[in-house]
Amino acid sequence: MQSSFTFELDGESLRVDGEPVHRNLADFLHSRGFGRESRFRNPDPWLGGAPLILLDMDGRGRPALRSVDAALIPLPAIAGRQLWSAEGIVLRASRGEIHPAFALLDSHPELECSWAGRARILTALFEGYYRSDLQVVGQLNDQLDGCLSRTAHYIALREVAEELFAEAQQQRHEAQLSAQSQGREVEFEQGRVDIFGDEFSALLAGEMPEPEDFSYVDPEKRRFYRPQTIIDLAKLLAQFPKAVIVGGSAGLLNPENRNDWDCLISTEGVGDLRALYDKGDRWDIGAAAPLTSINELIGKTYPAFGKALRRFATRPIRNRITLGGCLAAARHDDELAPVLIALDAQVRAISLEGEREIPVARFFEGKGKTNLRPSEVIADILLPRFTGEALKERGCRTRFCDTYKAAPRRELSSGSVSAGFAVELDDAGKIAHAWIAYGGLADRTYRARETETALVGKPWSEDTIFGSLSQLTREIQNAPGARDLATALPQGEIDYRRQLIITLLQKFYYQHPKADGPPVELGVTSEMLQPNRRFFQPSGAA
């Protein structure tokens, strides 16, 4: 094992020698004097953190530039990686290498007065400039939700972002036309065309090197491993049964958590665990796939799941945190588990002894525990496809699915209560199958099976839903661990959460009131204000 390693920041190699395994990147950079106005000193992830740009891999295995929070990355996780900072982008500009994101932000000093805030904005704009999927106004929140500040001018920020992303999409469109004229359409679709003609665009058009097998030990004999294969991962877990498995590690370095681990085993180097596979009748989502990669590939296929992914924390956190990590954490207020239950998802766990599939609804045992066995690790999350043919085989015609979160704000805030609902209706408009799941009401995500059973065979109507509310409330209040959570909360909070049991299910019905009709939007949100208006509209396009 090695006791030192290097990584690259703004084109310069930095050496890490004898640092603690649990030291985060932001703390290390601050100790080395990096960061204007000490922005890397104890940054708060819940206030936007201290973002950097990381050269990473998307769900297709292609290079991607991702904003990441330096405060949530353990140092060994960036061994051999390439990163860039807002300070580096500014320094490049002073040398004449002016990036469009910097030029536009620099011409609008009214956007933000603090450097920490401007660094968050510059990082978000820089990342968004290179996103091929960032095309419509409804995606602005997804890109900018980490730009939290008391002094930011958000209306002006959105206008600047629209202008920058329109410029990027125009250049992308022109590059596409050029590729078509040269017979390089396939290369363009695969992301192998240098669109912007700069250093970063060239990296994106190239190949993403696989992370090397890596092991590190600090002076206190704490270990960090980054294996490359599932077999090596399973062997390490068998060798170190008390090791902590880390993916994006975004939750690992939360100040609320302990940080005295003896051994960390990273899943980032295992390509099979970061990939998403289309199996025809289902999607297999690698447990180490970041939430952003998942949303990019299947967010439109599973709209409810995509909504939950977009509203999880902020983009720098979504770019790192993994779906397997979210499930393994087994938080009682998990925002993703309810919708996964509504999607009838399963977890595939593996070890040297073999593998097994576990329904997400039966995965949690309460108080942060799962039913993973010793030496088991989550390999995939399996999502069935709900095609018309698949529904017909089950005697159903229509499927509704949605997810909701009640929280102080839409992004970067843990929900008081989250919920995932789904119903499948037969040809007569009666409920053939139902899924009702809540987070934040017990010591685990809970599926209300008794209420689901009572709904089967009844018409999809207001009377049916209202008639089920009393039973649903009783079932949730008597769920395992519900009383323990209730004793830990103020009575007003308990009453509020219990009311949400009713409110969220009612909202689900009112948004899907007809078996043959489209969803109804209740209220006006920023995503509904011309959400499909494109940043750039080619001339002659409809």
Identify the domain boundary among 384, 415, 442. Answer: 384
The pLDDT, as a whole number, for residue 527 is 46
Listing DSSP states for 75-94 in one string gives GGGGTT-EEE-HHHHHHHHH
**Tens of pLDDT, residues 380-432:** 999 999 999 999 999 999 999 999 999 877 666 677 899 999 999 999 999 99
209: Cβ contacts below 8 Å, ≥ 6 apart? none
**Tens of pLDDT, residues 264-273:** 999 999 999 9
The pLDDT, as a whole number, for residue 531 is 80
- pLDDT at residue 526 is higher than 60: no
**128, 141 Cβ separation under 8 angstroms:** no
The pLDDT, as a whole number, for residue 256 is 55
Torsion of CA 23, 24, 26, 28, to 10 degrees: 30
CATH code of the domain covering residue 168: 3.10.20.30
Same domain, 145 and 70: yes
The β-bridge partners of 383 are 283
Does 542 fall in a domain?
no
Q: What residues make up the domain containing 254?
A: 223-384
Residue 255 — pLDDT band, cuts 50, 70, 90? low
Residue 48 — pLDDT band, cuts 50, 70, 90? confident
The pLDDT, as a whole number, for residue 259 is 62
Does 540 fall in a domain?
no
Same domain, 21 and 146: yes
Does 338 fall in a domain?
yes
Residue 274 — pLDDT band, cuts 50, 70, 90? very high
Identify the domain boundary among 141, 174, 205. Answer: 205
* Tokens coding 28: 């290390």
Same domain, 17 and 163: yes
The pLDDT, as a whole number, for residue 182 is 97
CATH code of the domain covering residue 321: 3.30.465.10
The β-bridge partners of 245 are 265
Percent of the chain with pLDDT over 70: 95
The pLDDT, as a whole number, for residue 407 is 85
**361, 437 Cβ separation under 8 angstroms:** yes
Does 537 fall in a domain?
no
Does 389 fall in a domain?
no
Same domain, 303 and 401: no
Same domain, 272 and 400: no
The pLDDT, as a whole number, for residue 84 is 99
- pLDDT at residue 525 is higher than 70: no
* pLDDT (mean) for 10-36: 97
Does 278 fall in a domain?
yes
Q: Helix (H, G, I), strand (E, B), or coil: what is residue 386?
A: coil
Torsion of CA 113, 116, 122, 123, to 10 degrees: -160
Rg (C-alpha) for the chain, rounded Å, is 24
The β-bridge partners of 283 are 278, 383
The pLDDT, as a whole number, for residue 45 is 80
Max CA distance (Å), the chain: 71
The pLDDT, as a whole number, for residue 257 is 58
Q: Helix (H, G, I), strand (E, B), or coil: what is residue 513?
A: coil
Q: CA 159, CA 373: separation in Å to the nearest integer? A: 51
Same domain, 377 and 508: no
The pLDDT, as a whole number, for residue 476 is 97
Q: What angle do CA 161, 165, 171 make, to 5 degrees?
A: 155
**Tens of pLDDT, residues 129-139:** 999 999 999 99
Same domain, 370 and 399: no
Does 218 fall in a domain?
no
Same domain, 510 and 447: yes
The pLDDT, as a whole number, for residue 316 is 94
Does 150 fall in a domain?
yes
The pLDDT, as a whole number, for residue 528 is 45
CATH code of the domain covering residue 509: 3.30.390.50
Percent of the chain with pLDDT over 90: 83
The pLDDT, as a whole number, for residue 524 is 46
- Total count of domains within the chain: 3
Q: Which residue has the higher pLDDT, 113 or 258?
A: 113
Same domain, 148 and 271: no
Same domain, 109 and 253: no
Same domain, 365 and 242: yes
- pLDDT at residue 178 is higher than 90: yes
- pLDDT at residue 541 is higher than 90: no
**16, 4 Cβ separation under 8 angstroms:** yes
Same domain, 379 and 450: no
Among 341, 340, 334, 331, smallest CA distance to 367 is for 331
Residue 491 — pLDDT band, cuts 50, 70, 90? very high
Residue corresponding to tokens 């209306």? 155
Average pLDDT, the chain: 93
- pLDDT at residue 87 is higher than 80: yes
Q: Give counts: helices (H), strands (E), the chain.
A: 20, 20
Identify the domain boundary among 333, 360, 384. Answer: 384
